[in-house]
Amino acid sequence: MARVSDGSKKTRILDSAVVEIAQRGYNQTTVARIAKRAGVADGTIYLYFKNKEEILFSLFERAMGRFIETGRTRLNESLSASEKLKQIIELHLTLVGEDRDQAIITQVELRHSLHFMDQLSRAQVGEYLGIIGQVVVQGQETGEFRKDLDPVFAAKAIFGVLDEMATDWVLSHRNTRLESKAPSVVEFVLGGLKK
């Protein structure tokens, strides 16, 4: 999730927003600060974004785009469901763990109000959950996975585990690597607690 600036103003604005919002939170971040860091005038922001909230939406979309894109790539390969799931888990944690500032946005700031989450969740998160769900379905069809769990539910549960690990990592100020949790997550998700 490393930010590679293509130098375009829009990208510079988004990149600046990530840093500023990560530092002081969405509400404490002024449009003026973002503009300053991006090296543009305050008014310029409004040539690229309808309003301040739109910046946050764009940040979300950019982040989700990366997740979905990477997820899709893996799904196309001919792997077993378990293997695919393992890769999705590793990918998820790796992507989030690559950029702490971006992770703060994704795990915390993007969820700052019901109204806001309402708009987010359906479209893109749904797509991401769909990808996971399809892997679960595949596993059930091939007989790898138990069939008594609703794939939609399973996808959410898996996402819940990943999301908790990510949030926990963001909030802990230790210098661990988020991906190091991947094996445990795979174990837990595939095998559960029971012996």
**Residue type, position 156, single letter:** K
Give which of DNA, its own copies, none residue 91 binds (C-beta under 5 to 8 Å, depending on kind). Answer: none
Tell me the per-residue interface mask from 25 to 64 with DNA, x by CB under 7 A, - otherwise.
Answer: ---xxxxx-------xxxxxxxx---xxx-----------
Is there a contact between 166 and 107 (Cβ–Cβ < 8 Å)?
A: yes
Give which of DNA, its own copies, none residue 30 binds (C-beta under 5 to 8 Å, depending on kind). Answer: DNA
Q: Rounded to 5 degrees, what are φ and ψ at 172?
A: -75, 140
Torsion, Cα 3 92 164 139, to 10 degrees, reads 160
Could you count the other beta carbons within 10 Å of the beta carbon of residue 156?
A: 16
Compute the least distance from the CB of residue 21 to DNA, in Å. Answer: 11
Give which of DNA, its own copies, none residue 123 binds (C-beta under 5 to 8 Å, depending on kind). Answer: none
Stretch that binds DNA, among 23-31, 78-86, 107-115, 181-189 (CB under 7 A): 23-31
Binding site for its own copies (CB under 8 A): 22, 25-28, 82, 85, 104, 108-109, 111-118, 121, 136, 139, 143-146, 148-150, 153-154, 156-157, 159-165, 168, 170-171, 181, 184-185, 187-195
Residue number, 16 or 106, with CB nearest to its own copies:
106
Using the rule CB under 7 A, is 16 a contact of DNA?
no
Is there a contact between 61 and 123 (Cβ–Cβ < 8 Å)?
A: no
| Cα-based distances in Å from 113 to 64, 103, 118, 119, 156 | 18, 17, 8, 10, 20
Positive or negative CA dihedral for 115, 16, 18, 63? Answer: positive
Residue number, 5 or 80, with CB nearest to DNA:
5
- Phi/psi-derived region of residue 143, left when phi > 0, alpha when psi is between -120 and 50, beta in every other case: left
Compute the least distance from the CB of residue 95 to its own copies, in Å. Answer: 17
Residues that bind DNA (CB under 7 A): 9, 28-32, 40-47, 51-53
